[in-house]
Amino acid sequence: MAAGTGHSPVLSLQGMHKRYGGVHALRSADLTISAPGVVHILLGENGSGKSTLLGILSGQTRPDQGTMTLGGREVRFSSPVDALAQGIAMVSQETAVAPELSVAENVLLGRGLVRRRLGLSWGRTERRARAVLDRLELDCDPRARVAELRPDQRQMVEIARALSSEARILILDEPTSSLTDDEVEALFRVVRQLKREGVAVIFVSHRLPEVFAIGDEVTVLRDGATVAAGPIDGFDEGLLVEAMVGADSAYGREAAPRSPARHDGTALTVRGMRVAGAVRDVDLEVGRGEIVGVSGLVGAGRSEMLEAIFGARPIVAGTLTVGGESFRPSSPRHSIERGLGFLPPDRKGQGLVLGLSVQTNLTMVQTIGRSRAAIPRPEAEWRRVAGICERMQLRMASPRLPVGSLSGGNQQKIALAKWLLRDPGLLLLDEPTRGVDVAAKAEIHAHLKAIAAGGVGMLVSSSENEELIELCDRILVMSRGRIVASLSQDEATEAKLVSSAGGHV
Ligand SMILES: Nc1ncnc2c1ncn2[C@@H]1O[C@H](COP(=O)(O)OP(=O)(O)OP(=O)(O)O)[C@@H](O)[C@H]1O
Ligand SMILES: [Mg+2]
């Protein structure tokens, strides 16, 4: 492998340009990895061009202009297979494992399956997969079906797959956006192991503290151009944020201090709720105007609880009220009619229809349970949509574009905006700001608080305790399907939340 020999950088991308119709995704983006075994952080606001640049580097996207050198030699990739052959592997923003296949099959998918004359040799396939898993020090049965794994384990399987081809540069596009703190630590152990082996890692994240924990050097993109780059030691959080948002941005405006609005009555009560295999003996209350957080490890039952309240998962026992009246969730449609909104954690699967336009996605739930006369006129609707989009710093060339063409963070904002337009009485939000950049996240939090102040109740699950502490009036901690603690905003600290969740090992 020629990469990293002599004095030339391992990798250098220069002057990359890419347009999609009227959208300038990249205009003069550069990125240089100085040495083997370096962790290179790629930062930028939602839509700034990170995934596009990484798509070029991994052979998925053809640039309109720009050059790429590997170990000083100019290269051009015609496909991901081509890039992989030259030692560049990518784990993309959305996980792409085949859930029905085994771990071994996923790890070796498309390249390493050991063939014999009459089919595959499962014994040897498994041994090869095991070797890759061992290298990453992953304790995971090669024969297990990927569908049975936790999300963090699935991600490790993806990384193992990327490495099964002896990659010298591994690209991780937002690997931590759906991981809890403990899982992030496990991922970092793997990254450090790769560093020792001389594998360079390009790492995208919107969480600045972890950027400093793992990064050696950094590149910052703004509006498709590189605006800052260099060793991470030369930056602090303030400098990075300023590079990302630009000096003239409104970011950093004092968020309005939240005076818990007093509203009579409850938005939601739950008594003795049980959900098969996931939730037991849950009692909780969300007042009108109150934001209640739900913390806990992955698998604690947070998502299942929200789904059940929304009528997307059967409730075995228990009683509920919504807006003070008895409520028996029977289907999502019924819940929407009763004034509930639900943002699922997985925007691709349940939250959005990627092939349809932004406009259609945003207005899809507006018609449910409303008489024709009550459905807002499109023009009036669009003024509100424009207002919400502006507050969330949603970037798109046109609302007629398919949602699938937006950047990951901007898709998330659409998934959330869709419910805000409906004026719900109770919002159930699972990972509301997954993949959203720091500036837009602060805006979304401020916006949610303003909506709550108008009398809406919210139940918010997040794997980021920091987010819950910032946003919520009260935080419930779940562990193994039960609520094990309830902390007011004043009492809640990350340490207390983690120790009540039983996450300390
Ligand atoms: N296939 C496509 N068709 C049209 N526009 C696209 C396409 N892919 C990307 N874009 C646009 O290019 C711009 C950059 O998107 P990109 O996905 O690279 O952003 P990003 O920095 O990865 O953002 P995020 O942090 O939200 O993931 C966005 O405006 C996006 O809508
Ligand atoms: Mg992206």
pLDDT in tens, 222-240: 999 999 999 999 999 999 9
pLDDT, residue 68, reads 97
Structure tokens, 91: 């784990």
Residue closest via CA to ligand 1's atom 31 equals 406
pLDDT band at 196, cuts 50/70/90? very high
Tell me, in angstroms, the distance from the centre of ligand 1 to residue 409's CA: 9
Q: Which of 433, 179, 128, 456 is nearest to 291 (CA)?
A: 456
Neighbour tally for 362: CB within 10 Å: 26
What is the H or E stretch that residue 308 is in? helix 302-309
Minimum-distance ligand 1 atom for the alpha carbon of 409? 26
Domain boundaries, the chain: 11-245, 266-500
Q: Give the predicted TM-score (pTM) of the model.
A: 0.82
Q: Burial level of 453, CB count in 10 A (0-12/13-18/19+)?
A: middle
Does 342 have pLDDT greater than 90? yes
* Long-range Cβ contacts of 254-258 (<8 Å, 24+ apart): 255/442, 255/445, 255/446, 255/449, 256/446, 256/449, 256/450, 258/449, 258/453, 258/473
Residue closest via CA to ligand 1's atom 13 equals 25
Distance between CA atoms of 280 and 374, rounded to whole angstroms? Answer: 39
Tell me, in angstroms, the distance from the centre of ligand 2 to residue 424's CA: 30
pLDDT, residue 6, reads 53
Query: What is the residue-averaged pLDDT of the chain?
Result: 86
Could you say which architecture CATH assigns to the domain 11-245? 3-Layer(aba) Sandwich (3.40)
Which of 59-68, 254-263, 311-320 is the least confident region? Answer: 254-263
pLDDT band at 504, cuts 50/70/90? very low
Does the beta carbon of 406 sit less than 6 angstroms from any atom of ligand 1? yes
Distance between CA atoms of 422 and 446, rounded to whole angstroms? Answer: 18
Distance between CA atoms of 477 and 296, rounded to whole angstroms? Answer: 6
Cα–Cα distances (Å) from 450 to 16, 256, 290, 387, 433, in that order, read 41, 9, 11, 14, 16
Angle between helices 438-453 and 408-420 (to 10 degrees): 10
Does the beta carbon of 178 sit less than 6 angstroms from any atom of ligand 1? no
Could you say which architecture CATH assigns to the domain 266-500? 3-Layer(aba) Sandwich (3.40)
Q: What is the mean pLDDT of residues 384-401?
A: 78
Does 2 have pLDDT greater than 60? no
Q: Do domains 11-245 and 266-500 have the same CATH topology?
A: yes
* DSSP one-letter code for 61: S
Share of the chain above pLDDT 70, in %: 91
Residue closest via CA to ligand 1's atom 29 equals 47
Distance between CA atoms of 93 and 406, rounded to whole angstroms? Answer: 13
* DSSP one-letter code for 258: P
CB 442 within 8 A of CB 251: yes
pLDDT, residue 229, reads 97
